[in-house]
């Protein structure tokens, strides 16, 4: 009996590192799909991390991207843009179907890449120091010039933010595979994007077991989600303004001009 107990204990100890490693992935695959050599292909990249097909992948410093050629044509993965050319950070050279190329990113920043042979194949790797980033949130609302880069810490991805100006809300999709068993989300929202005593819905159900903390010009939310959460909606008392600063100035000048013109007309009529 003691021998059996000892063996079970040793087995458990040996399994612990395997479990930890399963959630410590730092290499992300981007596949070049069949047909990508044609500019009419529906997409040119496919991220295994989240299924995205726009060539944009968000990773942390020290993570590695592995491009796999699943096409029938040879390709390159070259750092830079088709418009400006290579920036000499890396270049895979021409690699045939079935082969792959990897690069590890050691500094934060946005790193564009493309295929020299097929310049319509472009993408960007976004490297952050800790918090994940959703870029240009608010671009589709109002004048399109007021936008924010949102920071969050989560074991999955927040994507496709949609702002509803009338409801003063913002909705995110929750996608990808969990990288850990901790499903708590920390989301840092600028007060100029959304403010007030925020209300939260997860998959259409209102929740109250969350924490909202003011940190300067940020509303920091701590939300207990689950591995099956799909949709997050946050409602406030104010949302990104429908008019940017310049538009408000123009509106103000127009109102003042209208008042002055009206006064002039009244004086002219009295005379």
pLDDT in tens, 13-53: 333 333 333 334 489 999 999 999 999 999 999 999 888 89
Which is nearest to 235 in space by CA: 141, 172, 168?
Answer: 168
Cβ–Cβ < 8 Å for 202, 241: no
Helices within the chain (DSSP H only):
2-22, 245-270
30 compared with 179, residue with greater pLDDT: 30
The encoded tokens of residue 258 equal: 């209208």
The encoded tokens of residue 14 equal: 């040996």
Q: How far apart are CA 139 and CA 162, in angstroms?
A: 10
Over residues 196-244, the pLDDT tens digits come to 999 999 999 999 999 999 999 999 999 999 999 999 999 999 988 644 4
User: Domains in the chain and their CATH numbers?
Assistant: 2-128 (2.60.40.420), 132-239 (2.60.220)
CA 238 vs CA 95, 148, 164, 210, 235: distances in Å: 52, 15, 11, 20, 9
pLDDT > 90: percent of the chain: 61
What is the rounded end-to-end Cα distance, in angstroms, of the chain?
A: 113
User: Using the 8-state DSSP alphabet, how is residue 48 labeled?
Assistant: T
Q: Is the pLDDT of residue 170 over 50?
A: yes
pLDDT > 70: percent of the chain: 78
Q: How far apart are CA 257 and CA 203, in angstroms?
A: 49
Q: How far is CA 23 from the centre of its chain?
A: 20
CA 265 vs CA 161, 253, 256, 259, 271: distances in Å: 49, 18, 14, 10, 10
Confidence band (pLDDT; 50, 70, 90) for 269? low
Q: Which residues contact 189 (CB under 8 A, 6 or more apart)?
A: 150, 198, 218, 219, 220, 221, 234
- Total-model pTM: 0.48
């Amino acid at each position: 009996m003691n021998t059996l107990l000892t063996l079970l204990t040793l087995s458990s100890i040996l399994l612990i590192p395997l479990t930890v490693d399963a959630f410590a992935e730092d290499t992300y695959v981007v596949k070049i799909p069949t047909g990508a050599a044609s500019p009419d292909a529906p997409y040119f990249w496919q991220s295994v991390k989240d299924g995205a097909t726009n060539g944009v992948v968000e990773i942390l410093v020290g993570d590695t991207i592995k491009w796999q050629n699943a096409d029938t044509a040879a390709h390159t993965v070259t750092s830079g843009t088709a418009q400006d050319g290579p920036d000499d950070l890396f270049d895979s050279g021409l690699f045939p179907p079935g082969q792959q190329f990897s690069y590890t990113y050691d500094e934060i920043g946005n790193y564009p890449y493309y295929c020299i042979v097929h310049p319509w194949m472009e993408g960007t790797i976004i490297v952050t120091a800790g918090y994940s980033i959703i870029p240009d949130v608010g671009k589709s609302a109002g004048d399109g010039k007021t936008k924010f880069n949102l920071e969050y810490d989560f074991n999955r991805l927040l994507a496709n933010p949609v702002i509803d100006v009338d409801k003063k809300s913002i909705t995110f999709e929750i996608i990808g595979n969990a990288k850990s068993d901790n499903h708590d989300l920390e989301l840092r929202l600028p007060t100029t994007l959304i403010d007030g005593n925020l209300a939260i819905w997860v998959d259409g159900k209102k929740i109250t077991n969350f924490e909202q903390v003011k940190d300067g010009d940020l509303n920091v939310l701590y939300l207990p989600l689950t591995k099956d959460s799909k949709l997050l909606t946050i409602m406030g008392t104010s949302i990104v303004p429908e008019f940017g600063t310049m538009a408000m100035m123009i509106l103000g000048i127009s109102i003042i001009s209208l008042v002055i013109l009206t006064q002039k007309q009244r004086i002219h009529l009295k005379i």
